[in-house]
Structure 1
């Protein structure tokens, strides 16, 4: 691949559920440290001839006066939703700054809710979103069986819940369902999955196992992008790493059979870039303690996707 038209800024947000790594429940916070290590994606990109920079957002543990607004009691220290809000706002600022500098943002983050921060940083009321994930992430507090916020970011972005919370993310604009594509969503179709009755259904146009079985992956993806391109000219691309088939690698403990290959992900991003501009990409939910060999797949994938996306990107 040739060098991209925009320089790349790799942004690391090493938190999981608003917290740093501690015990088995927060190991996705380690993912950005592996993907953006000194010998990670930004080094590979530089070796391929790209202008790269790296930024760590690792000082966002608690709200500061910058975040409080009029009343600090509204952001109590230690609260998980407060920490996640602070981190989304930090990411929003970093994405906005990279774009303002004419650089293409490539994010490695612990959790999928960080997509809310990326959407805020793009600050564009007319964008679409293409969400790669093994899961729909479309629950609301009313449809979730466990209340886990990580199962809700697509619903938040689509304007279905957490209205007042999301309004505190700088630059955030709701992306309506007709401007969203969900790619993957294979866990509910997996033999070991939790079935279609688990949680809320996926949002937007679906490129899922039934659609892929009917049309083939390439045609299903192209048709979905063609449909969304009739409504938007710019998109945010979110890649939860467990969209990769468990037979290829296990990105985390939620990985399932029936997902995509890394080659299909790159092909999909190429199809997207042919029809709409990609404004940012975000890789999330990688737990390096699950599959030691996964990094050898993911680091080249991050760079391959960034090259395709940034080569067709434009500054504002």
Structure 2
């Protein structure tokens, strides 16, 4: 029988991992919906939820409401009741927009071209701690955003937790599969827009650094990922500076051209072979990786993207490895393309379910 859970109300509706489940199934290496043993989760029947309402990494309001429309659509209930997970962490969305505006007000001028640098840095540092708190308990860390700048926090939190949980392991660095229309690997100097949602990978890999007090100076080696364990899937709108970075650093990237030529099955086989079978995986999925016909309500849609089935297949393939330790779903913006919000939310729900082991049969 699937386990169900209730939340104990903490401050502002957040439980920070102290949820009291109504039923607790015996722990094993299997998540509730899968027969695949989990290699890196000591509590595979639990999900550590972080709900991030934040849009400060880019210019269009509305991504802060992404987690709300996903949870209003019943996603958390489905994860508990349909898929059988015990949910830990957030049951309401954290309003990071409000927290950052109260702290910085208008005193957050650009630095090296970056917009809202102090705000985004402070928010992602908090997110990193929240996600780390979940991941260190050996549960999969699921984060719903929010714009893609929040991945500076989500990925760094998981990376730190894995390093601590496997201090003597030869391969204790996580791999990241970044599913996106965009590479998000601009440095502040290569970015045309200054929007930090186009820079998270550069800060996570150390290709971009900052010594400015309060501007990503909290990132340490324990938070960072290797460019040799980074894989892109679905790229189709890459800036010239980003192309240079990808080529010069030999970063593994599968564009839509590769998917058209080889098919999503072979692309995923190649991606997972490159990562290897003994490496924890963090899946960071920007909903704009999907073609706008499937997910129109997002800030930077680009035609010619993944079908929903291709997106679901990516998530299914990662789940089938038994190596997944973290999942992000970001850039759902219900204030854009009003008639397409339902399609976008349904796509987002499907992607998350597949990443957590839901299957067609």
Q: TM-score range by the shorter chain?
A: 0.7 to 0.9
Q: Does 1:151 find its partner at 2:180?
A: no
Q: Does 1:8 find its partner at 2:38?
A: no
CA distance in 2, matches of 1:211, 1:54: 38
TM-score, length basis structure 2: 0.71
Q: Paired residue for 2:242?
A: 200
> Structure 1 residues 305, 62: closer, same or farther in 2, change over 3 A?
same
CA distance in 2, matches of 1:45, 1:6: 11
CA distance in 1, matches of 2:321, 2:48: 23
Q: Does 1:87 find its partner at 2:87?
A: no
Q: Which deviates more from structure 2 when the two are superposed, residues 200-209 or residues 283-292?
A: 200-209
CA distance in 1, matches of 2:284, 2:224: 15
Q: Paired residue for 1:57?
A: 94
1:60-79 paired onto structure 2 within 5 Å: 61-62=99-100, 78-79=107-108
Q: Does 1:292 find its partner at 2:326?
A: no
1:251-270 paired onto structure 2 within 5 Å: 251-270=297-316
Equivalent residue for 1:249, pick from 295, 300, 306: 295
Render the CA deviation track for 1:185-228: whole Å, top value 9, x for unaligned.
1235xxxxxxxx64422742112122223322110121121012
CA distance in 1, matches of 2:354, 2:346: 13
Render the CA deviation track for 1:130-161: whole Å, top value 9, x for unaligned.
10111111111222222222211112212111
CA distance in 2, matches of 1:200, 1:133: 14
How far apart are 1:167 and its partner, in Å? 4.0
RMSD over aligned CA atoms reads 2.9
Contact 1:131–1:239, Cα closer than 8 Å, also in 2: yes
Q: Paired residue for 1:305?
A: 355
CA distance in 1, matches of 2:125, 2:221: 9
Render the CA deviation track for 1:265-287: whole Å, top value 9, x for unaligned.
23223333444611110111111
Equivalent residue for 1:237, pick from 263, 283, 290: 283
CA distance in 2, matches of 1:172, 1:308: 32
Where does structure 1 differ by over 4 angstroms across 4 or more consecutive aligned residues?
75-78
CA distance in 2, matches of 1:177, 1:228: 11
Contact 1:251–1:286, Cα closer than 8 Å, also in 2: yes
How many pairs align?
A: 286
Equivalent residue for 1:118, pick from 154, 159, 164: 154
Q: Paired residue for 1:70?
A: none
How far apart are 1:25 and its partner, in Å? 2.3
CA distance in 2, matches of 1:88, 1:187: 25
CA distance in 2, matches of 1:276, 1:8: 15
Unaligned runs of 5+ in 1: 66-74, 189-196, 310-316
Contact 1:92–1:171, Cα closer than 8 Å, also in 2: no
Contact 2:318–2:355, Cα closer than 8 Å, also in 1: no
For 2:190, what is the secondary structure of its paired residue? coil
1:97-176 paired onto structure 2 within 5 Å: 97-122=133-158, 123=160, 124=163, 126-164=173-211, 165-169=215-219, 172-176=222-226
For 1:233, what is the secondary structure of its paired residue? coil
Equivalent residue for 1:26, pick from 61, 75, 81: 61
Q: Paired residue for 2:20?
A: none
Higher relative contact order (CA 8 A, sep 6+): 1
For 1:272, what is the secondary structure of its paired residue? helix
Render the CA deviation track for 1:70-117: whole Å, top value 9, x for unaligned.
xxxxx8974222221221121111112112334321101111111111
